[in-house]
Amino acid sequence: MNLVLIFLITIFSLSLFFYGRSKTKSISIQNNIKLNALPKFYGYYLVLWCSIPALIFLLVWSLFEPVIIKSIIIETAANQGAIFNDKNEANLIYEKIKAIHLGTFFGDIDSILKESAISYAKFLNLFTNSKIVLIFGIVIASVIYSLKKIKNNNKARDDVELILKGLLFASSLIAILTTLGIIFSLLFESIKFFSVINIFDYLFGTNWSPQRAFVSDASKITSAELEEIKDAFGFIPLIAGTSFIALIAMLVAVPIGLFSGIYMAEYASVKVRRISKPIIEILAGIPTVVYGFFAALTVGPFFRQAGESLGLTVSSESALAAGLIMGIMIIPYISSLSDDVINSVPQSLRDGSYAIGATKSETIKQVVIPAALPGIIGSVLLAVSRAIGETMIVVMAAGLAANLTINPLDSTTTITTQIVMILVGDQEFDSPKTQSAFALGLTLFIATLILNYIAQRAVKKYREKYD
């Protein structure tokens, strides 16, 4: 239905383009007046006026229609004597009514449901009809308005440009809407979670075992159940595991990335640079699920065998394997950023150092790197934020059990792994277990936000210093 309406609106407004163009042409010839804009702009003007208000209305309507119909139906069903105790049962009844209406419900249909289904069909019909009528009304009103404007020979180009500018502005607002959406959706569930679990129990608890929280509805939790799950959501093991794996990754990525960045910027010939830089950047383009596969099926077992031959017990999901592969994934982020940063250190600093007899490496170590340090630290922080937000490698190669350990050969878990593990498959939306995933997401979001903010500030300050 909506598609048909959109199609009709599009066709109609496109035909208005030709009408507007020829109409204004003929007006200007008949009345012998000079138009205030090229004829095609009058066409565009009509098109925009005809389509945008109607489409916006259609969008808003389609967003709210299901919600309104649902509340009406549930209310009428309740008036007719349907019994439901809470929101879930009401939802269930609504779904049943919908299924009966569509003819896909097989089961006992009692009279209340049947009548509700009939009234559902009635409301659906009513809403669809009024939608069509309203949209036609809007199209006609806006066409009349814009035609009148055209006949008065308005400055069509300016008006069209104003509307388009509004469109451009609206598109750039989508970024803000996305951020708001993220914050809203994370906060919404997290607040529900923290109303059950004390925030200090979460932040400082040392035991993470959400599978214990099998209660399905957070709002009806009993005090005995609460006592049971109170200490199941301790965040400490997760942040420890996440930082530990990120640390291993950094131990791999920072030296390799930094040295390749320095070599690219200071030593490499144009030819070497042209070949090796893209190849290193391939590492950043490989999907992380590929690294995860490699870590889980090749590196993990390899470490275990190597450990066995040395007489060590190595878990096949060791933190070492996940961290190592994550480090390799991060190399290009550090190398290309530090390459940029080093390149923007002014040549005069180097020349000064050479002039007093320093070798190239001495210049790099004692002049270039100290000068580039804020930028390098910024790039490392960006890499850290990428490491703690990285999901697939740790989901596939790190463990699931939340161990508090500093043995790299042991298995440990991370924030992202736990989010995936909790949310994979079917979820009970109201259980504290599901909500805990959103609390973890919020923590992760805030952590990466702070890291990125500091890193971007550092890089920006550094750039300003030498620009």
Partner 1 sequence: MTKEERLKKRHRSEKRFKLYGVASIFVALLFVLILVQNIFSKGSSAFMKTAINVEVFFDPELLELQNGASSDDILQADFFDITIETLLKAYPAKNLDEENELIDLFSTDAEIEIRKAFLENNNLVGKKINLEITASDDIDQLHKGNYPRDLPEDRRRISNFQLNIYDNLVESKKIVKNFNNYFFKNGDSRNPELAGIGGALVGSFYSILICLLLSFPVAVLASIYLEEFAPKNKITDFIEININNLAAVPSIVYGLLALQILLATIQLPRSTPLVAGITLALMTLPRIIIPCRASLKAVPPSIREGALAVGASKFQSVFHHVVPLALPGTLSGTIIGLAQALGETAPLILIGMVAFVVDIPSTPIDPSSSLPVQVYLWSESAERGFVEKTSATIMMLLSFLIVMNFIAVYLRQKFEKRWN
**What is the nearest approach in angstroms of partner 1 to the Cβ of residue 429?**
6
Between the alpha carbon of residue 98 and those of residues 65, 86, 136, 173, 340, the distances in Å are 14, 19, 28, 36, 59
Residue number, 211 or 361, with CB nearest to partner 1: 361
Residue 416 and residue 429: Cα distance in Å, rounded? 19
For the chain, first and last CA: distance in Å?
57
Residue number, 135 or 440, with CB nearest to partner 1: 440
DSSP output for 199-238: HHHHHH---B-GGG---S-GGG--HHHHHHHGGGB-SHHH
Entry field: residues in the chain: 467
Residue number, 216 or 448, with CB nearest to partner 1: 448
**What is the nearest approach in angstroms of partner 1 to the Cβ of residue 91?**
11
Residue number, 243 or 407, with CB nearest to partner 1: 243
Query: In one letter, which amino acid is 178?
Result: T
**What is the nearest approach in angstroms of partner 1 to the Cβ of residue 140?**
28
Residue number, 181 or 346, with CB nearest to partner 1: 181
Residue number, 143 or 371, with CB nearest to partner 1: 371
Residues 6+ apart with CB under 8 A from 303: 314, 318, 320, 321, 409
The answer to whether 409 and 315 have CB atoms below 8 angstroms apart is yes
Between the alpha carbon of residue 14 and those of residues 7, 17, 36, 156, 420, the distances in Å are 11, 5, 22, 17, 47
**What is the nearest approach in angstroms of partner 1 to the Cβ of residue 111?**
28
The answer to whether 246 and 394 have CB atoms below 8 angstroms apart is no
Residue number, 13 or 414, with CB nearest to partner 1: 414
Secondary-structure breakdown of the chain: helix, strand, coil percentages, each rounded to the nearest 5: 80, 0, 20
Q: How many CB atoms lie within 10 A of CB 260?
A: 21
Q: DSSP class of residue 410? A: S
Residue 464 and residue 467: Cα distance in Å, rounded? 5
Residue ranges of alpha helices (H) inside 344-467 are: 347-355, 360-363, 369-389, 392-397, 415-423, 432-466
The answer to whether 338 and 262 have CB atoms below 8 angstroms apart is yes
Residue number, 16 or 396, with CB nearest to partner 1: 396
Residue number, 13 or 143, with CB nearest to partner 1: 13
Residue number, 109 or 421, with CB nearest to partner 1: 421
Residue number, 114 or 365, with CB nearest to partner 1: 365
**What is the nearest approach in angstroms of partner 1 to the Cβ of residue 436?**
12
Residue 237 and residue 320: Cα distance in Å, rounded? 17
**What is the nearest approach in angstroms of partner 1 to the Cβ of residue 170?**
8
**What is the nearest approach in angstroms of partner 1 to the Cβ of residue 178?**
5
DSSP output for 43-92: HHHHHHHHHHHHHHHHHHHHHHHHHHHHHHHHHHHHHTT----SHHHHHH
**What is the nearest approach in angstroms of partner 1 to the Cβ of residue 420?**
6
Token reading at 408? 């790299």
